[in-house]
Amino acid sequence: MEIILKETIDTLGLEGDIVKVKPGYARNYLIPQQKAVTVNKASLARLQREQQAIENRREAEQKRAQGLAGQLEGKTITITCRVGEEDRLFGSVTTKDIAEQLAATGVKIDRRSIMLAEPIKSVGDTIVTVKTGYQMTTNLTVQVIPENTVENQPEEE
């Protein structure tokens, strides 16, 4: 089944693209969610009328993504956590923690844009990939350092 995308979907294509998908996917998800419309004469005519507006939105999205990538490129954020023996964390550092730390530094980003294969469970530096939009990604360094706790310091007698 051919459809016209009304918004950019990472796995399918960009807004305004005509793509072929399985009928069930279109009928049960894309069309009810208003992410796509079926291809017919009326929708093709509407697509041609709106082509310039779609191009302008794509360019604006690309500029926004490049700006965000510029802010994040080479950036290092530091997260302090409680650690146990052998520098293993009590718990882990997740995408939520990274997004909160970025928001504290003034960069607001959705935690679902942070691509972390599995939570960080050890002290040290980790390179994390962040999707900035418009099919662009950038790398960010997450530095996990141990929190100074009473348990880690020798007791005085």
For residue 132, give the H/E element and its range.
strand 124-133
Give pLDDT, residue 156.
Answer: 47
Give pLDDT, residue 136.
Answer: 87
Q: Specify whether domain 71-151 bears CATH 3.10.430.100.
A: yes
β-pair type (2-5, 18-20): antiparallel
Mean pLDDT for 67-79 is 90
CA distance 51 to 56: 9
- Using an 8 Å Cβ cutoff, are 135 and 10 in contact? yes
Task: Provide the residue ranges of all domains of the chain, joining segments of one domain with +.
Answer: 2-64, 71-151
- This prediction has a pTM of 0.73
Residue 85: HSE in the Cβ half-sphere, 13 Å Cα cutoff: 0
Class of CATH domain 2-64: alpha beta
Same fold, 2-64 and 71-151: no
Give pLDDT, residue 30.
Answer: 95
Residue 152 has pLDDT above 60, yes or no: no
